[in-house]
Amino acid sequence: MEDYKVLIIEDEKQMAMLIQMELNHEGYKVDIENDGMQGLNRIKNEKYDLILLDLMLPGLDGIEICRRVREFSDVPIIMLTAKGDIADRVMGLDTGADDYLTKPFAIEELLARIRVIRRKNIQRDKDNELKVDNLVMNGETHEVTRGGRKIELTKREYDLLETLLINKNIVLTREQLIEKAWGFDYEGDTNVVDVFIRYLRSKIDDEFERKLIATVRGVGYVIKGEKL
């Protein structure tokens, strides 16, 4: 594995060290900061591939750090929040965190989320674009086109399409789509996925002969690439 550098900003020292140990074991390089302000300075001065960011921190809280980091960097951020604090989670999402984990979490869960984020970065080409057939999603401008024509998507539709594109040719269950595209442990009905898939289809597939989104009965959905 090439060097993949992770910064943990977490004031619970034992927890930070435990995560560090587990990530080291997986081959990641890990630094720790226990103070929010020092953590932010470190992100400014060193290059990281991923930030694990606690919400409640001395110095500067996680939401504020997130907001400030987004002014100068797109580094992936996974926010670690206290149990069940929905409002905090949503706020974090709006300030630019990529994913959430509610404490306490299993280390396997954290590793899985990191793999998703890594995969997301690897799958983009150098122009930061995800493509399938004549559909192009630009990760920087957030512009989506099919056959060169611009398609307007809501944030949720965009996140859902992005999840499908990242996992091109892999069938995802409704639960997986919710977890990845909704970004946190959504408690409601998974039928919401069907509703948003329908919205997406009306925008990207209905007018085209070649349908990109396929339903796999009894399982879920997949975006099919050129070759299977």
Which residues would be at the binding site for Ca ion (CB under 5 A)? 11, 54, 56
For every residue of the chain, DSSP letters joined together read ----EEEEE-S-HHHHHHHHHHHHHTT-EEEEESSHHHHHHHHHHS--SEEEEESS-SSS-HHHHHHHHTTT----EEEEE-TT-HHHHHHHHHTT-SEEEESS--HHHHHHHHHHHHHHHHHS-TT-EEEETTEEEETTT--EEETTEEE---HHHHHHHHHHHHTTT--EEHHHHIIIII-S---S-THHHHHHHHHHHHHHTTT-SS--EEEETTTEEEE--S--
Q: Which is nearer to Ca ion, 31 or 143 (CB)?
A: 31
Q: How far is the CB of 43 from Ca ion (least distance, A)?
A: 17
Q: Which is nearer to Ca ion, 39 or 220 (CB)?
A: 39
Q: How far is the CB of 22 from Ca ion (least distance, A)?
A: 18
Residue number closest to Ca ion, CB atom: 56
Q: How far is the CB of 19 from Ca ion (least distance, A)?
A: 13
Q: Which is nearer to Ca ion, 80 or 135 (CB)?
A: 80
Q: How far is the CB of 62 from Ca ion (least distance, A)?
A: 8
Q: Which is nearer to Ca ion, 53 or 223 (CB)?
A: 53
